[in-house]
């Protein structure tokens, strides 16, 4: 996603991602959450964090290529009126991710990085090339 940052120059950018040594070093306004995995408590904790952050900043647009962190972020963002762009993982060549399947219904734009995934999702899925 950092490759896309130049496209958003002149806009307020907030990054919400997992807490790690690498993400702590990012030179952007950021909020870091614990890795959610399949932990429902962490999912709820992350959802509360997103509700707090999005209520404060009121994003117009949320872009994610994320894993399970995208689920609460995008649903909370949608509830608060944000437009949603989801970019399916580059690692997903032949089969949709669970996250992709869960956020597909609420995405305003849904991008896949492999053309063979278009038929796995539906009319909203678009292939414009790889992110990298």
Q: How far apart are CA 73 and CA 59, in angstroms?
A: 11
Q: Is the pLDDT of residue 1 over 90?
A: no
Q: How far apart are CA 15 and CA 29, in angstroms?
A: 6
Residue (of 40, 121, 45, 59) closest to 87 by Cα position: 121
Q: Is the pLDDT of residue 94 over 90?
A: no
What pLDDT score does 132 carry? 62
Mind listing the pLDDT tens digit for each residue in 5-39? 888 888 888 899 999 999 999 998 999 999 998 89
What pLDDT score does 6 carry? 87
| pLDDT tier, 2 (very low <50, low <70, confident <90, very high otherwise) | confident
Assess if CATH 1.10.10.10 describes domain 2-127.
Answer: no
| pLDDT tier, 126 (very low <50, low <70, confident <90, very high otherwise) | very high
Question: Average pLDDT, whole number, for the chain?
Answer: 91
What pLDDT score does 100 carry? 94
CA dihedral 3, 12, 24, 26 (to 10 degrees): 40
Mind listing the pLDDT tens digit for each residue in 39-77? 999 999 999 999 999 999 999 999 998 789 999 999 999
Which sign does the torsion angle of CA 4, 71, 77, 115 carry?
Answer: positive
């Amino acid at each position: 996603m950092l490759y896309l940052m130049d496209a958003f120059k002149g806009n307020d950018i907030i990054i919400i991602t997992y807490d790690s040594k690498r993400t702590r070093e990012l030179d952007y306004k950021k909020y870091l959450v614990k890795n959610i995995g399949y932990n429902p408590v962490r999912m709820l904790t992350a959802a509360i964090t997103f509700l707090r952050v999005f209520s404060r900043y009121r994003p117009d647009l949320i872009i994610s290529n994320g894993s399970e962190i995208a689920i609460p972020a995008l649903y909370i963002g949608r509830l608060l009126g944000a437009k949603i762009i989801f970019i399916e993982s580059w690692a997903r060549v032949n089969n949709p991710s669970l996250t992709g399947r869960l956020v597909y219904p609420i995405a305003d734009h849904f991008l896949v990085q492999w053309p063979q995934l278009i038929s796995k999702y539906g009319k909203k899925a678009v292939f414009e090339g790889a992110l990298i």
